[in-house]
Structure 1
Amino acid sequence: MLESVTSRALESALDGLSMRQKAIANNIANINTPGYTAERVSFEDALAKSVQQGNGATTATMSRSLEPTREDGNNVNLDTETLSNTTTVLQYQFATQAENQVLTSIRAALKDG
């Protein structure tokens, strides 16, 4: 398939958002696990830098939250996870729609060409 900065960036974004969805699900599943610290996925800054450099490809990274913990050592906050989940779902839908637009444009170019 034709590789462009846009298609690589969208693929990287979808991979990062998918990883974030899994982390959120894991955090919620462990909300009552003593000593568990929430997972955080980041990729946006690296993705922006990669796009600026003309590449678009990057890999998401996972780290542990440094937010304060409860007495049991757990720091998962359901409100934070719910908000993050909503945002991630919307971003994933937007990126999927953008990817579909890229593919539609490629198909149209191949058909007309």
Structure 2
Amino acid sequence: MLDSYHLQVLERSMDAASMRHRAITNNLANINTPYFKSQQVIFEEYLQDELNGVIGKQNLEAYRTSERHIPFKNSGGFAMPQLVSNPSAYVQNNGNNVDMDAESAELAKNQIWYNGLTQLTAGSFQKLRSVIEGGGK
């Protein structure tokens, strides 16, 4: 069964997958827009750092002059997905850098990932429900 930390990992992963879906569909919608620069979501590296206990870009804590000051952390101090420009070197004649094949493949991969996350989350809640109800009397 999952504890609150693991549920938070699942929640942030689902947030990242949802954000990635919006970014990819926006990229595909603008495939013929001159000078449009595609975007991608960066999350897995931040999550891996978080899970490994490595202080990365997302977990930097500001210097506080007093213990009474509020700590400077992101929401919950947990890895957050980031939307960044896609560093793709391939640019079409119109200045657009959206690659339909690559974006379509990423969309399919992201959909499979999101479905897996939702199944894992639903299964965890089903187990919790079973425990609460007395193990399926």
Q: TM-score, normalised by structure 2?
A: 0.74
Q: Take 2:120 and 2:86, find their aligned partners in 1: how far apart are those partners?
A: 30
In structure 2, the partner of 1:38 is: 38
Residue number in structure 1 paired with 2:85: 64
1:109 aligns with 2:131: yes
Structure 1 length-normalised TM: 0.89
Task: Indicate whether 1:92 and 2:100 are aligned.
Answer: no
Following superposition, which runs of at least 4 residues in structure 1 exceed 4 angstroms of deviation? none
CA–CA distance in structure 2, aligned partners of residues 51 and 97 of structure 1? 21
CA contact 1:9–1:51 (8 Å) conserved in 2: no
CA distance in 1, matches of 2:17, 2:84: 15
Please name the residue that 1:79 is paired with: 101
Using the aligned pairs only, state the percent identity: 31
Alpha-carbon distance in 2 for matches of 1:66, 1:45: 16
Q: Which amino acid aligns with 1:105?
A: K
User: 1:24-43 CA distances to partner (integer Å, 9 max, x unpaired)?
Assistant: 11000000011111110011
What SS is found at the alignment partner of 2:127?
helix
Greater Rg over alpha carbons, structure:
2
Residue type of the alignment partner of 1:76: V
Q: How many residues align?
A: 111
Question: Which whole-Å CA distance do the structure 2 matches of 1:112 and 1:48 have between them?
Answer: 36
- Structure 2 gap segments, 5+ residues each: 54-75
For structure 1, list consecutive stretches of 5 or more residues without a partner in the other structure: none
